[in-house]
Amino acid sequence: MGKLILLLLNLIVLYNIVAAVFEDQVGKFDWRQQYVGKVRFSHFDTHMQSSKKVLLATESNVFAAINTRTGDLFWRHVDKTGPEGNIDAVLHHGQDAVLVVGNGRVLRSWDISVGGLNWEIVLDSGSFRSACLVGQQGTVKHAAVLKKSVISLHYLSNGHQKWVENLPESETVNYQAVHSDGNGQVYALGVVSHSHIAVVAYSAEDGEIIKQVSVEAPWLSNIPASCAVVGQGMLTCVDSTTMSIYTLDLYQQLQMIQIPLQSLGLEVDPGFQPHLVSHQPHPARQPLSEFLLQLGPDHHLLLQLNNGQIVILRDFKPALLVSFATTGEKTVAAVMSPKNKTACGINLFSAESGRRLLDTTLIFTVDPNAGKPERLHVQAFLKKDDSVGYRVMVQSEDHALTFIQQPGRVMWTREEALSDVVTMEMVDLPLTGTQAELEGEFGKKADGLMSMVLKRLSSQLIMLQTWVAHLWKLFYDARKPRSQVKNDVSIENLSRDEFNLQKMMVMVTSSGKLFGIDSKTGSILWKHYLDNIPSNAAFNLMVQRTTAHFPHPPQCTLLIKDKDSGLAALHVFNPIFGRKSQVAPPALSQPILQSLLLPLMDQDYAKVLLLVDDQYKVSAFPSTKNVLQQLQETAASIFFYLVDSSQGRLSGYRLRTDLSTEQVWEVVIPVEVQNIVSVKGKRPNEHVHSQGRVMGDRSVLYKYLNPSLLAVVTESTDLHQERSFIGILLIDGVTGRIIHEAVQRKARGPVHVVHSENWVVYEYWSTKSRRNEFSVIELYEGMELYNSTVFSSLDRPHAPQVLQQSYIFPSSISTMEATLTEKGITSRHLLIGLPSGGILSLPKMFLDPRRPEIVSEQSREENLIPYAPELIIRTEWFINYNQTVSRVRGIYTAPSGLESTCLVVAYGLDIYQTRVYPSKQFDVLKDDYDYMLISSVLFALFFATMISKRLAEVKLLNRAWR
Amino acid sequence: MARLLSFKAAVFFTLFFFISTDFVCCNNGRRVGDPLETELSGFSVPLEHSFELDDTGKFQVRGSLLLKTGREPSVSLTQNQLSEEDRAKLKEVAAVDGLYRIRVPRVFLQADRQTEWQMEGHLTAFVRACAMVESHLSDVITLHTDVSGYLIGVSIVTLPGACRGTEVEDEVDLEVFNTTLSIMAPVNAPGPETALFLERMEQESEKKGKNPQEQKSFFAKYWYLILGGAIFLMVTNSAQPPAGGGREQS
């Protein structure tokens, strides 16, 4: 028995696949990029002149500090996703930044120098409306938080509540803003829509109501959108229907004074909602009496409110963006105005006088492949001669941040669109010029023996030349220290490496910006912004032509579909250069239900894309004569399926020769009981090397390898923990035959599914045991194959054998994917993205329904691991060691040219790229392989043989003489 | 060898056997030997088929399915013979590689009253017409229900399934359907087997307990080595002269 256990232990130890990296390998094959998301609030750290920090709070619920010199992150705090972690307001004062998070649920203070948490308090319930800093006698010690029915004042030093007061008549009055300007009072401003404004003044000392007035304002409905406090407590509003500016003195509150815009000689652009911006340089002091008024998309004005009179200081037209900034005692307005098509000019104007400041012009070049500038964040500073200098951070529609210094030098650019990657593909890089030449030689038709020989010779001469050049470069680089050898990657010198490990990552982001990223270094090689993308678009990226068909350029097609209307558009581009293709995509007038990429190719080697519209008519792209002819020939064997999850309907269709379709099967899952949550097919580029598994007794168990098998996952509508369940249906996508139907009782989603080869792995939440569980289903044909040459769904009458086993997993998971290799010889691993930011590479061997409960001689022969109900997370299985990947949403795997190596990209808030070797690097010699030793041994042996042979000959000769 | 194999199969394919026993039980229920019971708590729905040269769906009644409701639903089938005309048409359709389709209405098998089981829509499936002809109308029809008893899908395969282009000379072969019918409910997917594993662990620890050699503690096992080592150390220590002792005193 002891021997047996020892053997067993040995077995387990032997199967501990070491996936860890050595210290010197860190960053050699992998890289990580961290993002923050679309910026909502930004504050430059001004409490120190030399500070180089900008604080960003984003729509992805991230609060971060960025180095303004380099654009790198100083620190970053990632909160919960969704409304729970939503950053409602950021109040920045000195060393502290106070955040209101989760619709007024939590108040948090951060030390901005190191990013540490000062304090955090939980606020009373009630939806958040507004917040401001409250100062007195020049110092700021409190922050006021306005909620739907209460206002509270908190100490900045520890977050404790100083006082909390109910707002009067909070049922009828919609309180929207809070204001304080250092006179010991806090004003809560509310509005009864189209009736009146309610102003409540609280004493900052004890929260006592000092004054409470309501003033007629029948035109007002939203204070933050149309009002601002200017100068000495003058609430100034602008209204587009009456074309007037209204002012109200908060100290006296007599009535609103109407100043028609016409009396100032101003006019609002038709259809534009005018907007006011005021500026309060210090929370303990009054706001400036100057303010900005926007009257049109490119029309801004700098106005001054002087004793109830409005004076126009400066008219900016055209001006795209305007922003205030303060340094020391000086406040300036930065104005961005378009210069020509590709450039914008930014100038500074004194806020007091409206005069243009000298030598403050900054040129901002608008990238034609990026979005329009959307917001301007200005960092102003005093130069040595007391004049104002500045830098700007331009935020554009595609969520990019560009930091520019005078006179127009771009210091850095952050592509925050990459924080929300929707889908991606990896495309092989093109061959080098010489390789392409060779390829071209074989591609062309033969035109005579002599010319062919000459061509061959010339191309080989070129190869020799490049090889010499390569050797020279190697030699030259070897003399330099390693740190100086830089591999500059640019589009020009991109070429496929020996093992095809370097690829082009084509990433599609939700903002509609496409990126081409070099997988080796992570540098962005091209970007392309698609404007007018609907906000709820669904993207589907397909590689129609790979780089293998020189001289035809590779071609990717992006299907952009509006989820509401179903209308779609195609964007065809070259994935290596990002340029829009010459090929004109068809205009799609009908809503699209389904798109299919067929293995058929047209004469230019582009795969045929079929689009099914809501009339069940099919259109092909490209739709040349050749393609249509091929489609007609193969129509009878083209089947596709549609899923209507709202009705629980799965239906199969067959293509007819006239490109119409006919329904051939239908499966209906009643939506009253369960909902279809995901349908997973197999990846089309997956290879399975072995058709079966060799068992302990040397017989073969054949896998059921149906390429058109679909795994359909359903969740019960009844969410009660005793009655909820998850359904797994395996359906043949061609015939609609239900191969297997299983129910996991007392289980709930979210379900993550991976479907590959002959197995389906899914993860769910067990409501009974309150834990995450993995389950694996494997399908086998049995001991003999029905038809070993080809798999046809139409001719497989016998149902496969189904094996299933479940395991306990100690963590919840975010996403899951399986590794993929060139030929499918390498064993498979599951890559699991954990909420903690780790990416776990779990050998599929542990998820094998044939793991025996009782160890037998045969199962040991087969290398099966004895069943253990718990899957243990081993730390060496984390492929991203300490490189946490926040909020992993997807993992993409691609095969490389090496069978042992699989390229992995995990994306979410961050992007992480690495390589995995599921069966170790069995086809690669190690870095430290001793070539000298092996060759010297070889030579020595060779010479030894020679000498001994000679000696033997001499000896034989001598013996013969004897 | 054969015994070994069957043993292994028993170990590894318990799940499969579970399904197949289910299947067999359904087959038993299918046999039209108990018409009384089916009439008591069942209902019949038409099984329709369609085979047309232009592949349009013109469904005609092929037979009627008698569905028995309740906890363990079962099904039986009575079906008509193919008419002369239909036989000719089926052969024609098979010649152009057309489809032979069947459909059943969606029903709810757990319903008590008749008004409740009817639902809108049909479930359809198909098989190549040539396969139907070449198998001499021997088909396997499976009805799939979901966990609450709704019929969700139907599948049809022929045995043999391949189309080899063999001519069916005898018209009589295409007269009577030779149908194997079954109804399948979803199987319960297994959860993690903790109980068995714990039992096994306990057994192993018990075995360990029985074996006195392994139960011995570290000291009990190696006391002679430790003792020997200690004595050896002591001996070497005492053998050393008290070097520097004199200096310590001064």
Structure confidence at residue B121 (pLDDT): 86
Contacts of B193 (CB under 8 A, 6+ apart): A805, A806, A853, A867, A869
Q: Residue with structure tokens 């496929």?
A: A496
Angstrom distance (rounded) from CA A61 to CA A84: 9
Global ipTM: 0.78
Highest mean pLDDT: which of A421-435, A504-518, B219-233?
A504-518
Q: Which residues 549-608 of chain A have a CB within 8 Å of chain B?
A: none
Closest CA to A381 of A336, A330, A333: A330
Q: What is the mean pLDDT of residues A720-749?
A: 91
Interface test with A, best of B21, B122, B157 (most A CBs within 10 A): B157
- Domain map (residue ranges) of chain A: 123-223, 225-296, 318-416, 420-443+499-585, 596-668, 931-961
Structure confidence at residue B16 (pLDDT): 39
User: Which tokens go with A473?
Assistant: 């470069």
Q: What is the mean pLDDT of residues B55-62?
A: 83
Q: What is the mean pLDDT of residues A409-437?
A: 85
pLDDT at B29 over 80: no
CB under 8 A, 24+ apart: contacts of A257-260? A257/A308, A259/A310
Q: Residue with structure tokens 């000719």?
A: B88
User: How far from A758 is each of A153, A603, A676, A726, A867, CA to CA, in Å?
Assistant: 62, 34, 22, 21, 20
Let me know: does A229 contact A250? Beta carbons within 8 Å: yes
**Which position has the higher pLDDT, A495 or A823?**
A823
- As a whole number, the mean pLDDT across chain B is 75
CB contact under 8 A, B55 and A656: yes
User: Chain A residue with minimal CA distance to B106?
Assistant: A668
Q: Which residues of A touch B211 (CB under 8 A)?
A: 1-2
Given pLDDT bands bounded at 50, 70 and 90, which one contains residue B5? very low
Angstrom distance (rounded) from CA A379 to CA B10: 75
Q: What is the mean pLDDT of residues A417-435?
A: 85
Q: Does A803 touch chain B (CB under 8 A)?
A: yes
Lowest mean pLDDT among B85-94, B170-179, B191-200: B170-179
Structure confidence at residue B240 (pLDDT): 57
Q: Residue with structure tokens 């540490």?
A: A116
pLDDT tens sequence across A664-680: 999 999 998 899 999 99
Q: How many CA atoms lie within 13 A of A316 on its CB side?
A: 32
Can you say how many angstroms the Cα of residue B24 is from the centroid of all Cα atoms in its chain? Answer: 12
Contacts of A937 (CB under 8 A, 6+ apart): none
Angstrom distance (rounded) from CA A199 to CA A222: 14
Q: What is the mean pLDDT of residues A797-814?
A: 92
Q: Which residues of B touch A809 (CB under 8 A)?
A: none
> Which backbone phi and psi does A959 adopt, to 5 degrees?
-65, -35
Nearest beta carbon to residue B159 from set A768, A797, A801: A797
Q: Which residues of A touch B186 (CB under 8 A)?
A: 727, 741-743
Contacts of A476 (CB under 8 A, 6+ apart): none
Structure confidence at residue B84 (pLDDT): 84
User: Chain A residue with minimal CA distance to B199?
Assistant: A853
Angstrom distance (rounded) from CA A189 to CA A229: 11
CB contact under 8 A, A743 and B15: no
Alpha-helical (H) ranges within chain B are: 2-12, 14-30, 35-40, 84-95, 114-117, 129-134, 194-210, 212-215, 218-239, 245-249
Given pLDDT bands bounded at 50, 70 and 90, which one contains residue A269? confident
pLDDT at A826 over 70: yes
Q: Does A614 touch chain B (CB under 8 A)?
A: no
- Shortest distance between the Cα of B85 and any Cα of chain A, in A, equals 24
pLDDT at B245 over 60: no
Decide if domain A123-223 falls under CATH 2.40.10.480.
yes
> What's the DSSP call for residue B70?
S
> What's the DSSP call for residue B135?
T
Interface test with A, best of B12, B97, B103, B216 (most A CBs within 10 A): B12
Given pLDDT bands bounded at 50, 70 and 90, which one contains residue B27? very low
Given pLDDT bands bounded at 50, 70 and 90, which one contains residue B7? very low
Structure confidence at residue A947 (pLDDT): 96
- Shortest distance between the Cα of A298 and any Cα of chain B, in A, equals 58
Angstrom distance (rounded) from CA A811 to CA A808: 9
Closest CA to A189 of A212, A206, A166: A212
The residues that bridge with A134 in the sheet, in sequence order, are: A142
Q: What is the mean pLDDT of residues A281-287?
A: 86
The identity of residue A621, as a single letter, is: F
User: Chain B residue with minimal CA distance to A859?
Assistant: B8
Structure confidence at residue B113 (pLDDT): 63
**Model-level pTM?**
0.84
Q: Which residues of B touch A699 (CB under 8 A)?
A: 5
Structure confidence at residue A17 (pLDDT): 44
pLDDT tens sequence across A575-614: 988 888 888 888 888 888 888 898 888 888 899 999 998 8
**Which position has the higher pLDDT, B17 or A899?**
A899
pLDDT tens sequence across A626-641: 888 989 888 888 999 9
CB contact under 8 A, A668 and B153: yes
Interface test with A, best of B15, B21, B152 (most A CBs within 10 A): B152
CB contact under 8 A, A668 and B188: no
SS3 A416: helix
Q: What is the mean pLDDT of residues A388-415?
A: 90
Structure confidence at residue A422 (pLDDT): 94
Structure confidence at residue B149 (pLDDT): 85
CB contact under 8 A, B191 and A766: yes
pLDDT at B20 over 50: no
Q: What is the mean pLDDT of residues A317-344?
A: 88
Q: What is the DSSP string of A214-276?
A: EEE-TT-S-HHHHEEEETTTEEEEEETTTTEEEEEETTT---PEEEEGGGGT--PPTT---EE
SS3 A766: strand
Structure confidence at residue A749 (pLDDT): 82
Structure confidence at residue A63 (pLDDT): 95
Interface test with B, best of A8, A701, A795, A872 (most B CBs within 10 A): A795
Given pLDDT bands bounded at 50, 70 and 90, which one contains residue B24? very low
Interface test with A, best of B146, B198, B213 (most A CBs within 10 A): B146
Structure confidence at residue B246 (pLDDT): 41
- b/e map of A440-457 (b: 16 or more CB within 10 Å)? eeeeeeeeeeeeeeebee
Helix, strand and coil in chain B, % to nearest 5: 45, 30, 30
Structure confidence at residue A481 (pLDDT): 62
Closest CA to B77 of B60, B65, B69, B62: B65
User: Which tokens go with A873?
Assistant: 């997370």
Closest CA to A556 of A504, A591, A510: A504
pLDDT at A482 over 60: no
pLDDT at B30 over 50: no
Taking the alpha carbons at both ends of chain A, their separation in whole angstroms is 66
User: How far from A913 is each of A520, A526, A577, A885, B215, CA to CA, in Å?
Assistant: 8, 18, 21, 10, 50
Q: Which residues of B touch A667 (CB under 8 A)?
A: 123, 152-153
- As a whole number, the mean pLDDT across chain A is 87
Angstrom distance (rounded) from CA A845 to CA A713: 23
**Which position has the higher pLDDT, A503 or B250?**
A503
User: How far from B212 is each of A1, B206, B215, B224, CA to CA, in Å?
Assistant: 13, 11, 5, 18
Q: What is the mean pLDDT of residues B239-250?
A: 46
Given pLDDT bands bounded at 50, 70 and 90, which one contains residue A21? low
Given pLDDT bands bounded at 50, 70 and 90, which one contains residue B25? very low
Between strands A618-621 and A607-613, the pairing is antiparallel
Highest mean pLDDT: which of A354-368, A404-418, B97-111?
A404-418
- Domain map (residue ranges) of chain B: 43-184, 194-231
CB pairs under 8 A between A and B: 166
Lowest mean pLDDT among A462-476, A483-497, B63-77: A483-497
Lowest mean pLDDT among A110-124, A475-489, B32-46, B156-170: B32-46
CB contact under 8 A, A794 and B127: yes
Given pLDDT bands bounded at 50, 70 and 90, which one contains residue A65? very high
Given pLDDT bands bounded at 50, 70 and 90, which one contains residue B217? confident
Contacts of A667 (CB under 8 A, 6+ apart): A649, A650, A651, A731, A736, A738, B123, B152, B153
pLDDT tens sequence across A182-207: 888 899 999 988 888 888 999 988 88
Q: What is the mean pLDDT of residues B128-132?
A: 88
pLDDT at A465 over 70: yes
Angstrom distance (rounded) from CA A254 to CA A687: 80
Closest CA to A867 of A848, A894, A843: A848
Can you say how many angstroms the Cα of residue B105 is from the centroid of all Cα atoms in its chain? Answer: 25
Q: What is the mean pLDDT of residues A766-775?
A: 93
CA angle B189/B190/B194 to nearest 5° reads 160
Structure confidence at residue A487 (pLDDT): 55
CA angle A728/A732/A736 to nearest 5° reads 100
